[in-house]
Structure 1
């Protein structure tokens, strides 16, 4: 919104200059120098002369009421320039920004066959009725007072004329005994105005009766303002020239037809744009479906390759187990053969007869040795048998564990595949549902609605299935939370330990999100006196600390970096831009640094958090580094105490 004549805004005008200044501002509003419409799609307005007023979004009637109240204010505190500005705004709203731009659906142009209406007759538009001979009374000082417009308005509404407002006309002598009745700007307003005129004509108090040279007039006289009234050089003629214009019914109908054609053209263009947008969405949906099919095919290939590799590993393990069993059987047979040979040797030695003592002793010695060897071989056989049993047991346990692990892997893979398929199916159903919603206005709307209901039902079933699968992950989430709680407890214990140290080394505590006051001190010191600096720094830092802890203020925007979403500072934030513009780069960087720290280390709580910091490498210290610091400190204290 632009402002003209800004160099004389500080000087006021006199009461006699209000009318001239009002016409000047009205011309600026008509030429677009001042803008009263907002960019919102809900059709709201703003007051260009009250930029500091808290309320900025007005409806048409609210803005008209606000401008009328300020323009007609009798307060001495209100400047004449403000009154003139708002009177010009009232004039612009009533003449150029009609509250009803398009006639209501149930309203119809007045029938040209109506004998009281000539389509080529010139009326004052917006429709205005004239009421004269309003009783007035004169006061001691010579001024006249008459009936209020609001009472007349209520009376006419009760009679079904439905006027918008009734304005009594005043001059330097007071009430002139004349009032203007304003009707709505649509065709219904014209019908009400004509009924208003007919009522007075039937009562012989119409326009002809008023201007007839007859006996003294009594009671109210009324009629609808036309071209001759507009050109009258009297009080209501002057007001009619400022309030409206002269047009015929045919001209108004042609103008309405032009607006309707323009509206139809605009709606046609919008429909074409919507149809083009619908085609683009359908193309994107087909592309997404094609990509989903490719992803599913790739997944099936991966699953087949995984199953083939698993079968190959199982086959190799079974072959190795068979080979081990065969080797053990061979070794067992060899031991049995040796045992049999020793038994035969024993029998042979026992059957031999020793011819002398030395031979007998030698035989006995040989028998004892053979017995010891036999015992050793028996023990070896037992150990081998036990080892064989252990090997078979281990092989069986290994086979059972592999089967359990494989079953668990297949179960988890199946759950993951089901979850991915459900998510892809939900996305596909949502895309199809959006496409069908755009097609609801087509000729086959009933079929589309059935498809929409069917897709919504399928979507609900898929979402329920997805929720069931999500519950399976709850145990892992609970374990992760327990681990995270233990980690947080360990970090808090580390913070408590480091807090007791007076170390000035690389590992120290740091308050994340704390506002650095030094840039504010340097910026304020340049603009204020020395004795005011401390108070101003305290005031500004308190204000920005309050902004930092406010959860409703989140000056961040999301971007994609390396395929991931990342939050960065929004440079277009109004508070940050104002801070940078007014106080420079130093305070701006201090606030941005505090924002980044809070958003990283405590985004939900929005308060200052203490952590252990590695000042040498400029990052958060690990638990290992913190524990190492405490151990080194403990060793130093131990050496000192010893």
Structure 2
């Protein structure tokens, strides 16, 4: 389709444009091509789908004329648009927008008329209006008088009634341009022709009858007493025709001066553009010269490269012949080596001996590996023995803790008995100096001394047990540290329910999943940045979002302060997932390392989400070692 169109356009030469335009012009006249749309808009039928389709007449005529004279358009397009321009000027000339009417000052030859003073804006006066109904409308409404004098295009009517509301006067406002002046003159001439102008009104006086009188307001009306004169002074001023003409001339002179200044400015800009055009033209000429030089250099370089390529091909052919000769020589050498190899078959026995020696060396290496495996097994057994020792020590520590609790109860019981004996002694001292009382006091003192000695021995035993329990607890903590340090690789299995958890460390995967939704292009960097920022925030000792609340009369509890500004901002900006991750790390850090505020490692039961006991860790290690042995 495109090729046929291009062939059709190429068949029309520029000299045939005038002849070809007759065909599209006839098609426009017959209505085959529609220019005027159903809603009254104008369109270009030859640019459908390419240009706008709501032209005004002037814009469409300018478009058709421009395309018909364009240099980059095809001959067919020029002919079609030339026909459209002729069709617009002959058939659719009535669609042209009306030119705005230019209003000029009226030509007044008499100088006395030019100096006559009028009320401006132009105003007419109507008097002797009686209160009655005419044509179904009351005469006291502005609408009635606007309709009555609509021929003179009034813009406003103001009515003033007398004190008895029987007669009224009206002020009729016209446009304040020369058309309004002409309408006001016609208004006055209407009353003069009907002999109801100002002159007759003054002559008739009170015998004027029911008819209305009207005239063009002048200086005597402006200065008159009454509501009309007051209204004219408040809303207008006195001007002559000469004054208005002079103001129009001054306004026109200002516009002409402004236009002259703008033309001078445009001329200066045009000179600058011409200078730039000359500079660009000169630069373009230089570029074209440089292009010719580069083109010649390119052609010379191309010829040189072709010559070098031919020489290279010749060298390759020469080298190929040389390689063929060497290959023939190598074949002859291989034949001679084959014969020599047959002679050396007797030497293979020596090579076999060398192979046996290498085999013996490999046996030695295998034995060394076997010994290393045995050493590894012994090391595993040492670990198991260490675990058993830790298990027994833990059991002993638990027994001693129970004994310590029993001794503590006994100590508290002795302290109560001692206090009771002291109270009884104080009572006995106040009973008198009776011999029986003194003997009783002596017995009670002896019993009290025995109780104090017993309590001292219990206290000593209690201190011994506390010291031993503290030592056992330290040993247990050291054992946990050794297990964390030595078995970190064993406890890193992804499927293991017992492992090492870094308490107080934020999980970066939560940040990564949330940032992937908000920042899909750079989520990894953003997640790393946010995770590092909040990890440093957790280390800050000045930030402690916890508060102590009262549970009952004797119990207080420390909880997370959810009204903290940083936590609220985190939750509102990133949601519950990241908020829960950060607060979990914060609680772990406060529980396991509140003083240092740095991440610590802990043996953890991931299945039950709690701290793992040594018994659970030891049991898990035994299972892992059995699995390793079965694999071996």
TM-score when scaled to structure 1? 0.34
The structure that has the greater radius of gyration is: 2
Q: TM-score, normalised by structure 2?
A: 0.35
